[in-house]
Amino acid sequence: MPAIANRVAALATTVFSEINDLALEHNAINLGQGRPDFDAPPDIVAAEVAALQDGKHNQYAPGTGTLSMRQAVANHAGRFYNLDIDPKSGVVVTAGATEGIFSSLLGLVNQGDEVILIEPYFDSYVPNLHWIGAKPVYVPLHPPTWTLDPDELRAAFSPRTRAIILNTPQNPTGRVFTYDELKLIADLCIEYDVICIADDVYEHLTFGETRHIPMATMPGMFERTVTVSSLGKSYSVTGWKLGWVYGPPALVTGVLRAHQFVTFAAHHPAQAAAAYALSQPGTYYEDFLTMYTVKRDLMMAALDGAGLKATAPEGTYFVMADFSDVFDGDDVAFARYLTREIGVACIPPGVFYCPEHGEIGRHFARFAFCKGDDTLRAAGERLAQLKR
Ligand SMILES: Cc1ncc(COP(=O)(O)O)c(C=O)c1O
């Protein structure tokens, strides 16, 4: 009998699907998946509609992406981070950040290399590493502050280390790494000649005085960093799956060589809209943060009213809440209970850890607050039933 390949055989259907199905069955408010339940800005949608209808964007885009989008990515990196990116040889447009990360790993990491992951991590990283035959080396963030232990970080680096995947602002903890934290990582990357694959998809989602510092801007890091980002989070168009990778041409060449045989080219009309979106005025980002600050505050009030302990996230639209005061089981049992009995779905973060470190996330649940304000208020009312 034909069977599925070994490289996917161990990948069970994720707990995300189970929780989504349970949420539907029990009519739960779904704060599980990081998927906004409100629409994208109408002018950004209109830019895509115009591109669909102008007769110029319905066939393959250039493999690297349209020059106007690559120019917009370079301008955006210059405007926000003072980076000098070459739009012709330093940018590749990808099918979302997910493809950007996979193509970066394919193009920059060899079989047998070690790649450092900070836990809890975004779930596509580990299967990607297994497919390319690289070995993940895990360094956990420690709750409740979600900080690195410098000794554990240093111990993860060795002559076998080829790359580190760094996600800041960080899903699911909501941490935004400080200059000092980034400097620690950067110094080790330089000492061990390691590449950084910077997953910056939440680059515009930081609260209050917190600012996102791209690893590519740290001293000595530009030449060894590829930065991956996408339209999904910053412009509320997760369904478009349009992303990019930028960095020094010497590294971006590797990403491009992989990308040309992974997808060849990304969705063409959305690239016209991306050029428009990436050129939004500063007021767009101010309004975006004002909107998300209200949502974050509603989420924090809901958790507080439920007796769930959480530190307000510095960035992203996720928060990790400690349920140990109100529930005795593990994270999966809590997520099932919350969805079935309380009517609010969340994600058990055990899936973002290697088995050895799963215990760290055992008493936490991840909530996504990229939802309508009324939805968050309604979730708060339901969650209040939890309080003992
Ligand atoms: C940390 C992180 N990286 C990458 C992605 C994937 O981004 P995209 O939808 O652009 O592929 C996500 C989406 O949730 C994410 O949270």
Question: Is a pLDDT exceeding 90 seen at residue 16?
Answer: no
Per-residue pLDDT tens digits for 114-132: 999 999 999 999 999 999 9
List domains and CATH numbers for the chain.
6-40+283-386 (3.90.1150.10), 42-277 (3.40.640.10)
* 184 C-alpha to ligand 1 centroid (Å): 25
pLDDT of residue 387: 87
pLDDT of residue 309: 97
CB 269 near ligand 1, within 6 Å = no
pLDDT of residue 15: 80
The CA distances from residue 83 to 75, 87, 252, 287, 314, in Å, are: 9, 12, 15, 24, 24
Q: Which of 175, 201, 226 to mutate to test the pocket of ligand 1 (most atoms within 8 A of CB)?
A: 201
The mean per-residue pLDDT over the stretch 181-204 comes to 98
DSSP 313-328: PSBSSEEEEE-TTT--
Six token digits for residue 18: 């189970």
CB 34 near ligand 1, within 6 Å = yes
Question: Is a pLDDT exceeding 80 seen at residue 12?
Answer: no
The mean per-residue pLDDT over the stretch 78-90 comes to 98
Alpha-carbon distance of 187 to 208, in angstroms, equals: 28
Question: Is a pLDDT exceeding 80 seen at residue 1?
Answer: yes
Question: Is a pLDDT exceeding 80 seen at residue 6?
Answer: yes
Confidence (pTM):
0.97
Mean pLDDT of the chain: 97
pLDDT of residue 14: 77
Nearest 10 degrees: Cα torsion 19, 354, 118, 152: 150
Percent of the chain with pLDDT over 70: 100
* 120 C-alpha to ligand 1 centroid (Å): 14
The mean per-residue pLDDT over the stretch 363-368 comes to 98
Question: Is a pLDDT exceeding 90 seen at residue 388?
Answer: no
Q: Which residue has the CA at smallest separation from atom 2 of ligand 1?
A: 122
Question: Is a pLDDT exceeding 90 seen at residue 270?
Answer: yes
pLDDT of residue 53: 98
Report whether 71 contacts 223 (CB < 8 A).
no
* 200 C-alpha to ligand 1 centroid (Å): 9
Question: Is a pLDDT exceeding 90 seen at residue 333?
Answer: yes
Question: Is a pLDDT exceeding 90 seen at residue 213?
Answer: yes
The mean per-residue pLDDT over the stretch 99-124 comes to 98
Percent of the chain with pLDDT over 90: 96
The mean per-residue pLDDT over the stretch 339-357 comes to 96
Per-residue pLDDT tens digits for 129-183: 999 999 999 999 999 999 999 999 999 999 999 999 999 999 999 999 999 999 9
**Confidence band (pLDDT; 50, 70, 90) for 10?**
confident
Cβ neighbors of 120 (< 8 A, separation 6 or more) are 140, 141, 172, 173, 320, 349, 352, 353, 360, 361
Q: Which of 165, 230, 259 to mutate to test the pocket of ligand 1 (most atoms within 8 A of CB)?
A: 230
pLDDT of residue 24: 95
Cβ neighbors of 282 (< 8 A, separation 6 or more) are none
**Confidence band (pLDDT; 50, 70, 90) for 216?**
very high
pLDDT of residue 11: 85
CB 98 near ligand 1, within 6 Å = yes
Alpha-carbon distance of 64 to 69, in angstroms, equals: 10
